[in-house]
Structure 1
Amino acid sequence: MRAAGRAVRARLRDRIAASDPGLLRLTAGLRTVGAIALTLAVLSLLGADVHILVAGAIAAMVATFAIREKQLGAQAVTLALGLPVALASVSLGAVLNTRVVVGDAFFVVLIFCAVYGRRFGDRGTALGLIGFQVYFLSLFVGATVDTLPELCGAMAMAFCSSALMRFAVVPATPAGVLLRLRLAFRARLAQLVSAQLELFDAPAEEMDKALKALRDGTARLHETAMMIQGQLEEGTPDESAARLVQRRIADAEIAAERLGLLLLTARTAERADTLTLHLPGAPAPAIAGPDMPDEAGATLRRDLLALHTLVLRAGSGDTGTGLAHVRNRLLGYRDEENLPPASAALQDVFRGIGESVRSVLGLRIALDGPQDESDDSPATARSREELDAEDAAIDGGGEEAEQEEQTGLRRPTTRAAVQVAVGSSLAIVGGELLSTQRWYWAVLTCWIVFINTSSTGEILVKGYRRLLGTVFGVVAGIVLAGLVGNHTWTAFALVLVLIFAMFYSAPLSYTLMSFFVTAMLGLLYTLLHTYSLDVLVLRIEETALGAACGVVAAALVLPVQTDRRTNELLGTVLERLAEVTEAAVGQLSGGPADELLDKARDLDQALADLRAATQPLMHPVTPLRTRRHTARYVVALLETCAYHARTLAATAELLPTHPSIAADPRLRGAAGRTVRNIGVIAARVADEHAGAQVETGPSIASLLGSDAGTPRYGRITDRVLRHLERLDEAVVGLARPLGVPVAAPKA
């Protein structure tokens, strides 16, 4: 019974870790709700009025979510600086509350300064957010000079409660977050293996569904790998440890993605294109006619289940003999003589399983230190030696390149500050026409739609989502207000539930977050005895007005069109892709070592930025369907290119230690066409009048000679050639949707 209970708890823990990597959403929700609850408890014991309770609750929420630094020391400094900013803001709000013109003018200046403060990093962003939100709070609760002492006391109590929750009750150190992200990576890797097993077993009519699950699992694993990358600098003791974890995470991700592609190829009539794993909605290739042999299929199914078990048990402290036996057997597939009799495609899958187990072993050694080697087989011992040699070759070299900083109105923070100030001015004027009491809702919406947006299209989509969430939230607010009635503490309890739901859902759906915010406001209006149907309808009108003012300001004042923004980011992605490809090929050709994994992660980050910027183009309500399909296709092709470039970079870093990989000087010339084509496409994106053409020609394998594919020491392996050829094909494929002319192959 105890063993069954442990198994259930382990499965539940893995599910939670996979659904919320690093428990970041859970931590944010608990910390915020705890700070609010503590503030309300202390203020209620002191006999505070309901207006002061509401002010304290909002201040605790702001003091908690505004601070984003990773190190606890930096968080403490920002929180300490935030209190005087909050006190000054609420005091000015109380003094200027009755001075309409001066108060509105000050509000616009405050908004400008709050947005401009983003250029000073996380601390500037946090202090600006606190200043704006607390001034808004003073308007919401109707602060006056007479109530100012109580409001300041509530502010101080809120910040103290936030500090207690942040540093004592729900602490989150960089090392702790990194540890939880590692658990999430393991859980999501196990989920991906499960999706691969489902793909292997899926009948023809369910292949598309199984492929979608495989595609989603691959994307989720990559998302977690990027989150780990963002925590390595603060969460590891030194740069060498960070690079070691980075290497092992990259190896595991690449091996898992390659295994999925090999499985898809084994199930279908022809070699699967990598694009199939990255293009949403792409149909599954046709399944091969004859069924695979029962014995080979049963062995493969058993080994996939064994791989799933190894992934789940890695790092759990379980080092039983049975687990070691399974690991030894699967690592044996890295040797040709241990492969079971099967077709070439199925044997590739068994090799992929062996490489996946090696990556899991390397990840476990990197994260948990030396392991018990008493039960190692020769294949496992050889894998450990390779991993040790790779680890020893890792150094902390490399310097980050300085990026050219934009100045004046070209600086994004300055431009956004001007746009928000203009939009807020329009929102104040329009909001006053709708309601002289609650005009600030339009200003709040205008402010929010500019947060974390960079183009007019992003602002339009965010405004639409906020309006949609607000409409449904108003309906929920009406229902909740009717159920709560005059029960103050019941309303506060529901407010805490809604706030937790708001923070837990924020990274998943902005519409859902807006829904919870609006429903919560309905309860707050009930507590302030200002609730009515007219007030909630006014909330919708002010929200729509604020979103419209934000869009107008973004479109007319220093506009950044979505096309311009995506073209800039596309150029950055292509530049990073060329850097990774050229550096990897150079090292594979015998050139000097380079910071390949860093370059690969820079490529991944640039691609993530592009993916976010193209969301307005791919949104379901976008009327330009052809443009939407083109954007989706281009992003999928770039993800395919990034996968092959990542794999080339990871393979090139193995050169000094891997016995079956050696430099081949012919590669540099053969892959030169691919690098030149990337440059041609980048030039065309930057200048549509550029006249260069994309080149096509013989395959890279043929350029290296007929014996280049022989996988023996001293020559590049077949796998590297396949990745180079697939990358070359994907780059040529980018030319058509981007309107780049393709030259006819030379005779």
Structure 2
Amino acid sequence: MRDSVRGWFVEYADRLTASDPGHSRIRMALSGVVGMGSALAVEFLLGVLTEAKPAGLLVSMMLGAVIAMMGTMALSGLTAGKAALTALFFPVAVGVGLTAGALVGNRSTLDLVVFVAIMFVAVFIRRFGRACFFYGFMMWMGYFFATLLHATVSALPGLLIAVTVSAAWVLLLSLTVLRINKNRALKATIRAYDAQARTVAREMVNVLESSPAEERRFEHRHGKLMSKQAGLAEAALMVEGWSEDANALPPGWSGAALRRRMLDSQHILDRAAGSAVALAGKDPTLVARARDAAEMMAQRDDVGARAAAEELAEMAGRAEAIDGDGWIPARHFALAVLGFLDLAQKALSPTDEADDDEFKPTAMLAMGNLPGSGAAFKDVPARGTRWNPAARLDMVTRQAIQVTIAAIIAIYFGRMLSDTRYYWAIIAAFVAFTGTATRAETFTKSFNRVLGTVAGLFASIWIANLTAGNVGLVIFVILASMFCGFYLIRISYAYMIFFITIMVGQMYSVLHEFSDGLLVLRLEETAIGAAAGILVSLVVVPLSATDAVRAARDAMFADLRDLLKGAARYLSPETSRPAVAETGPGTGGSAAAGSPTHPVPTEIAVAAPTASSPDGSDEDSDEESEEDSVPSTLVELDAKARALDDRFRQVALAAKPRIRPLVMGSRSLNSRRRLDLYNALAIRSRALVVGIRSKPVEHPEYAATACLSLAEVAERLMTTRPGQPMPELSKPLEDADTAILQSLPTSSGDFHGDTNVLRPLAHLHDLLSDIAVKPRNS
């Protein structure tokens, strides 16, 4: 079936859709090409009307195209008023750079000093918001053009007219053909979510085709399944981001209702994934039917998947009667598949559940995408704060200092190689600190820039020979390269640079300056700038990836603490800490099980200690701020569960350079294991929230006790350095274990009516225990 043409088409269509939620990548690529290409035509028409000289016309066209390219990104997703206000200052930003460059003239030393100062200011003003991020780039680009072309003061009016026309044109485009329809973007993101859900089902097939006996293969496939589940959470976060605008929502839906539907869908898929992992290697007949159901679900054969799941449920019932192997995960898998199919059938049906007029998304989108590391880790301090005052500055100021020093190094060594092309080294040093936060990210980006330049060099030479003398074909290659570069940049920065190198080769071909030696020189200058960026990121107020991971991990534990306290508040609002029997370590003892009236030890009734006071005491201000973040309603619990997904995304973002092969191809298994544990925490927390609102809890007082005990563990973990032994956590872990067991029947160790809440609590207990008891996992 998998080898059929339809199966192949569906699989790769889903993979393509899932890779670009909301069509943000293709939208950015098309916007860049349309903006750049049309601006070239507009500037050409302006030059013809003003009877500009060929040299001046070419300069105006290049400058206008660059401004249009950056302008389309700057105006993406803005309202008409904000877009007009932002575009109004495009000519101002470029004009500052152009004027500075023209006034400096050909005075070499002053030229370089001002260039470095412009770079510092361009980075420094990023603190004032998204618009200033692009203004800084445009100011830097204006100075670059002025110095590169040796612009004079007399040429400024013509250049400023070209910039103004380009800004007006790109504003017109952003308000018309490039305007984002948020309702369509949300629908496209939901389709991407569904496609990602189908890819999760495909990974379930792979897991079911393996066995725990094949340890390495099974662990690899299990890891890929968890990775797809994390991708599903990111798609859900993007759905939430687009839901901020009530006009984007489907009729009859609220943002909170859509969030709840996504949480329910994720929870069902999480159950199916967990059951598939538990079922692998069990009864071959059950595994085979489960595999069929998962494969049909992956190929969107929902009718066949339903039939297979129903048959699997019947087979599991027969296996239960003879105490067969694997009937429990088989039944859970079948029910999860049926639940997902039921939910998929009514995916577009309106609902008034979880209505909330003041919906606030847990993750705000930036240009149609989730925020990057710069936004996530802007408050993480750099290394060396004790002895280096600069390390105490905010991230934007630190990066401005880093860019300045890197530029000085790039200029010094770049000019030793070439007095005329050293600006390539400056560009490489400048962009090394754009979109990065940690020194590991800077290294990765700089390395990818060199890698992309090397690969693009050979492609550029070959393509330049094919397009030589054909202006139309050259323009097509330039625009196609721009499209491919923008579309693939989020997959790897190396792809972007590969296509930019091809584009640069075509531009120099038009200018009749193309040569193999010129591209080799560009590679050498790029390597100098990249090396300068890497060196500075390592020694000048460096931000460690380890510190970023620690900060994101601590924030995740803080949100987990708040979620657990909120769950306890919702489950048992009248009881702070109910009776928990004092028992020995481990299971909590059989004497306590099934004893709802067991007395409460005084020390257990104390509220969990806060980060500011581990001994249980706390200042009023800290207590108030913590209480403000504790959810008290189901809607707020939903929001906190989604916030945990975003926290895990930030942890994974910070840890990415540590778990992906770099130059030496190394991979940190411990980092991967820790990520899997944090991912599992988000999954089980989501299950807890869904379980709380699925049915009334039979023994809410004990579930509340377990929640508060686990909240104490999460709080202690967030105030403890990773790798540090935490024996003091054994007590709250035992309390949680005892409270969970007290909800079980005296005669049986199986869960009963409270299973939807107790099972995720038990899983959270095991995960937190694994992190606390095994420090390498923290």
TM-score, normalising length from structure 1?
A: 0.79
Once residues 623 and 198 of structure 1 are traced to their aligned partners in structure 2, the CA distance between those partners, rounded to angstroms, is 29
**Corresponding residue of 2:651:** 610
Does residue 233 (structure 1) correspond to residue 244 (structure 2)? The answer is: yes
Between the aligned partners of 2:774 and 2:151, the Cα distance in structure 1 is: 57
Displacement, 1:358?
4.3
What SS does the corresponding residue of 1:95 show, helix, strand or coil?
helix
* Structure 2 equivalent of residue 680 of structure 1: 716
AA at the equivalent of 1:733: D
The letter of the residue matching 2:188 is R
In structure 2, the CA distance between the partners of 1:147 and 1:494, relative to structure 1 (3 Å rule), is: farther
Aligned to 2:43: 43
**C-alpha displacement at 1:495, in angstroms?**
0.8
Give the match's secondary structure for 1:438.
Answer: coil
Residue 396 (structure 1) shift: 4.1
Measured after TM superposition, the shift of residue 116 of structure 1 is 2.0
Counterpart pick for 2:675 among 615, 629, 635? 635
Deviation at 1:413, TM superposition (A): 1.5
1:178-193 correspondence to structure 2 within 5 Å: 178-193=186-201
The whole-number CA distance in structure 2 between the counterparts of 1:439 and 1:470 is 16
Q: How does 1:185-584 map to 2 (within 5 A)?
A: 185-197=193-205, 199-200=207-208, 211=222, 214-234=225-245, 236=247, 241-267=254-280, 287-288=281-282, 290-292=283-285, 298=289, 300=290, 303-304=293-294, 307=297, 341-343=318-320, 345-346=326-327, 348-355=329-336, 357-358=338-339, 361=342, 365=346, 367-369=348-350, 391=353, 396=358, 409-584=392-567
**Whole-Å separation in 2 of the counterparts to 1:472 and 1:597:** 47
The CA deviation at 1:163 is: 2.8
**Structure 2: how far apart are the matches of 1:552 and 1:406?**
20
1:223 maps to a residue whose letter is E
Please report how far the alpha carbon of residue 297 of structure 1 lies from its aligned counterpart in structure 2 after TM superposition: 5.2
For residues 709 and 129 of structure 1, the distance between their equivalents in structure 2, rounded to whole angstroms, comes to 64
Question: Which range moved further: 222-231 or 502-511?
Answer: 222-231
Deviations 1:323-349 (A, max 9, x none): 7x997x899999x99985344844554
Deviations 1:384-416 (A, max 9, x none): xxxx6xx15767478999x99899953222222
Instruction: Tell me if the contact between 1:115 and 1:128 (Cα under 8 Å) persists in the aligned partners.
Output: yes
The 3-state SS of whatever aligns with 1:507 is coil
Q: Share of identical aligned residues, percent?
A: 24
Q: Give the Å deviation of 1:625.
A: 5.5
Residue 766 of structure 2 aligns with which residue? 729
Residues 39, 57 of structure 1: 8 Å contact kept: yes
Quickly say closer, same or farther: Cα 1:724–1:12, change in 2 above 3 A.
Answer: closer
Q: Where in structure 2 are the equivalents of 1:53-64 lying within 5 Å?
A: 53-64=61-72
Change (3 A) 1:400 1:208: closer
Determine the C-alpha separation between the residues in 2 that align with 1:732 and 1:246. 30
Q: What amino acid is the match of 2:472?
A: W
Residue 123 of structure 1 and its aligned partner are, at CA, apart by 1.8
CA 1:179–1:96 in structure 2 vs 1: closer, same or farther (change >3 Å)?
A: farther
Q: CA deviation at 1:458?
A: 1.8
For structure 2, the residue ranges without an aligned partner over 5 or more in a row are: 49-53, 364-375, 382-389, 575-631
Per the TM alignment, residue 223 of structure 1 is displaced from its structure 2 partner at its CA by: 2.3
Question: 1:94, 1:138 within 8 Å by CA — same for their partners in 2?
Answer: yes
CA distance in 1 between partners of 2:345 and 2:179 (Å): 26
* Alpha carbons of structure 1 residues 688 and 337: separation in structure 2 relative to 1, 3 Å: closer
**Matches of 1:192 and 1:440 in 2, distance apart?**
46
Provide the secondary structure at the position in 2 that maps to 1:614.
helix
Question: Matched residues in 2 for 1:333 and 1:70: separation?
Answer: 51
Separation (CA, whole Å) in 2 of partners of 1:261 and 1:150? 65
Contact 1:600 1:646 in 2 (8 A): yes
Aligned to 2:754: 716
The equivalent position to 2:73 in structure 1, one of 59, 65, 80, is 65
SS of match in other structure, 1:169: coil
Task: Report deviation, 1:710.
Answer: 6.4
- Do the aligned residues in 1 keep the contact of 2:279 with 2:330 (CA within 8 Å)? yes
The change in CA–CA distance for 1:663 and 1:141 in structure 2 (over 3 A counts) is farther
Q: Which amino acid is 1:463 matched to?
A: S
- Rounded to whole Å, the distance in 2 between the matches of 1:326 and 1:219 is 24
Question: 1:459 is matched by which residue type in structure 2?
Answer: T
Contact 1:455 1:560 in 2 (8 A): yes
Change in 2 beyond 3 A, CA 1:33/1:87: same
Deviations 1:613-647 (A, max 9, x none): 22232242376968x22222211111111111121
C-alpha deviation, 1:27, in angstroms: 0.9
* Corresponding letter in the other structure for 2:680: T
| CA RMSD of superposed structures (Å) | 4.0
3-state SS in 2 of match to 1:450: coil
The answer to whether the Cα contact below 8 Å between 2:60 and 2:162 also exists between their aligned partners in 1 is yes
Looking at structure 2, the residues matched to 240 and 686 of structure 1 have their Cα atoms a distance apart, in angstroms, of: 43
Q: Which amino acid aligns with 2:267?
A: I
**Higher alpha-carbon deviation: 111-120 or 663-672:** 663-672
The separation in 1 between residues aligned to 2:150 and 2:335, in whole angstroms, is 67
- 1:441 Cα deviation after fit: 1.6
Cα separation, 1, equivalents of 2:684 and 2:675: 14
**Alpha carbons 1:33, 1:500 under 8 Å: kept:** yes
Decide whether aligned partners of structure 1 residues 158 and 565 sit closer, same or farther in structure 2, where only a CA change above 3 A counts: same
Aligned CA distance change for structure 1 residues 39 and 705 (closer, same or farther; 3 Å): closer
Superimposed CA distance per residue, residues 346-402 of structure 1 (whole angstroms, 9 cap, x where no aligned partner): 4554444445554565576564427xxxxxxxxxxxxxxxxx6xx15767478999x
Q: Confirm or deny that 1:116 pairs with 2:124.
A: yes
Structure 2 residue 608 is matched with structure 1 residue 597: no
CA–CA distance in structure 2, aligned partners of residues 729 and 51 of structure 1: 65
Shift in alpha-carbon separation, 1:621–1:189, aligned structure 2, 3 A: closer
Distance 1:692 1:207, change over 3 A: closer
Deviations, residues 122-141 of structure 1 (Å, cap 9, x unaligned): 22222222222333344445
Q: Identify if the C-alpha distance between structure 1 residues 624 and 14 changes in structure 2 by more than 3 Å, giving closer, same or farther.
A: closer
Contact 2:316/2:330 (8 A) holds in 1? no
Equivalence for 1:650:
690
| CA distance in structure 2 between the partners assigned to 1:512 and 1:452 by the alignment | 16
1:410-444 per-residue CA deviation (whole Å, 9 max, x = no partner) reads 32222222222222233223323322212222221
Q: CA deviation at 1:546?
A: 1.5
- From 95, 100, 104, give the equivalent of 1:96: 104
What letter is aligned with 1:731? L
Most deviating of 576-585 and 639-648: 576-585
Deviation per CA, 1:445-468: give whole Å up to 9, x if none.
112111122222221222111111
Summarize the Cα distance change of 1:356–1:108 in structure 2 as closer, same or farther, 3 Å threshold: farther
Q: What SS does structure 1 have at the residue aligned with 2:661?
A: coil
Distance 1:421 1:152, change over 3 A: same
Q: Is the 8 A contact 1:590 1:664 kept in 2?
A: no
Determine helix, strand or coil for the equivalent of 1:292: helix
Match of 1:320 in 2: none
Between the aligned partners of 1:423 and 1:610, the Cα distance in structure 2 is 28
Sort the Cα spacing of 1:261 and 1:710 in 2 relative to 1 into closer, same or farther, 3 A: closer
